[in-house]
Structure 1
């Protein structure tokens, strides 16, 4: 069902409202557990609902996939997203803009902060090998990249960024238990505000699969990048912000 900007989920037929939901309950995997999963699905508005998959994941925990119908509608006119307000340039043009307008190498310091040891995201953006067929920022001749790796303390990150005279600090956060990614990001932005005056602070850019890209101002950072971000997109943003290069040329 679709009327203007109002849509319903699609499962088997258009507008049937069918959705698939996965979750874990702290119960032993048995028939009673499946009944508990169906009860939860019903309270969430799925009617009818069916358990299409269940399996134990450790002692006393069961993972479920539930399929069912919801009556909720989505109004696309009310959807808010973080729009990209900069052009994504070819790698060659990114280097040319830095050389022409910055007239020195653009310095980037990257890290995973706090107890986060998941470097896949930051390495995908910074390392030469990159991701999805795009090379990382280390491959850009006009960039100087310092990758500090995992579990970097906020104080150490600030100190190194100051020492390197970083233009931008890129932080990846994957661990989200108890909102650790939000706490760490706020702590980092506060530390940079304390250490440097506004005109000397680097761009603070954070990324990770669980961030809300609309929360940049609330978290005190310049930009948030979500899942699917590529090195060229990050490089284009840095060039846009640091050189005022709204368009190629």
Structure 2
């Protein structure tokens, strides 16, 4: 996910920040943490000793098993509580800057598209692969929207094609071409075995192969946008997409980015720039 506007606590003056911090468990600075995991072994004393060995290898010393439960005949779930020896240089952490484009109003978004494109912007969205979770893509595309904001369908100047769930890459590329899409939005929620990363890379590779390299209205391939709650371990360059959006993203953020990326000549201060 791309960073949101910094919270108030992130804007604390450097001289007011604590320098070195430890985790908090029972009392401030006691370095106690709690973690959960599963082991492929039957529940019992041997399993608990194995969990404690793992905790020790992870740097928790001392540690204790505060909960264990059998998950079928050959798996056990554990919650372990223990002390870590690691310190965090909190004052030295560099906070990424906020969004690099302005957050536009609904009227500004429609005005930008109407002024520069002189037609409706075409956006195709889908959940690809075996992913059947449409909550994310629907929150961005459907009129009902998310977090009090209307989805992209609400905009008069945006034509939305929501292909739904379990769409193949081939179907997505074919539909994007048929609709002359300006942007393609792909939502991935299922993350087992990094399926979201594999699927998105496959999608991006297919679009790069099917379109010229240029990006933009009438210039080449559509803008490629990936969204989901677990893309924080990869970058746009690694996936082959133009933008990644994560959890908490709102329709307005996505629509504002579409204007920023596809209509760079337009700005809120000088909306007629695209006509020159």
- For normalisation by structure 1, the TM-score amounts to 0.88
Distance 2:178 2:37 in 1: 45
1:202 maps to which of 222, 228, 235: 222
Deviation of 1:78 after TM superposition, in Å, equals 5.1
Alignment partner of 1:224: what SS? strand
Deviation of 1:86 after TM superposition, in Å, equals 1.4
Q: 1:158 to 1:75 in 2, by over 3 A?
A: farther
Residues 1:23 and 2:43 are matched in the alignment: no
C-alpha contact 1:82 1:214 (8 A) present in aligned 2? no
Distance 2:259 2:233 in 1: 19
| Range with bigger deviation, 30-39 or 228-237 | 30-39
1:92 maps to which of 107, 110, 134: 107
1:154-169 aligned within 5 A: 154-169=169-184
Residues 1:183 and 2:203 are matched in the alignment: no
What is the Cα-based RMSD across aligned positions, in Å? 2.4
Alignment partner of 2:189: what SS? coil
Deviation of 1:102 after TM superposition, in Å, equals 2.8
Provide the residue aligned with 1:73 in structure 2. 87
C-alpha contact 2:132 2:165 (8 A) present in aligned 1? yes
Deviation of 1:184 after TM superposition, in Å, equals 1.4
1:76-155 aligned within 5 A: 76=90, 77=92, 81=96, 83-155=98-170
Give 5+ residue unaligned stretches, structure 1.
none
Distance 2:43 2:143 in 1: 45
Alignment partner of 2:235: what SS? helix
After superposition, the C-alpha distances for 1:108-143 in whole angstroms (9 at most, x for unaligned) are 111111122222221121122222222222222221
1:34 maps to which of 45, 48, 60: 48
Count of residues in correspondence between the two structures? 248
1:212 maps to which of 232, 236, 239: 232
After superposition, the C-alpha distances for 1:191-243 in whole angstroms (9 at most, x for unaligned) are 11111102211111101122126510121100111122121111111111111
Distance 2:180 2:212 in 1: 13
C-alpha contact 2:116 2:266 (8 A) present in aligned 1? no
Kindly report structure 1 stretches of 4+ aligned residues shifted beyond 6 Å.
none
| Range with bigger deviation, 92-101 or 142-151 | 92-101
Give 5+ residue unaligned stretches, structure 2.
1-15, 215-219, 270-276
C-alpha contact 1:87 1:246 (8 A) present in aligned 2? no
C-alpha contact 2:114 2:157 (8 A) present in aligned 1? yes
Distance 1:30 1:91 in 2: 59
C-alpha contact 1:97 1:245 (8 A) present in aligned 2? no
After superposition, the C-alpha distances for 1:78-122 in whole angstroms (9 at most, x for unaligned) are 557585211222333322322233332221111111122222221
After superposition, the C-alpha distances for 1:124-169 in whole angstroms (9 at most, x for unaligned) are 2112222222222222222111111111111111111111111111
Distance 2:249 2:32 in 1: 29
Q: 1:11 to 1:195 in 2, by over 3 A?
A: same
C-alpha contact 2:205 2:240 (8 A) present in aligned 1? yes
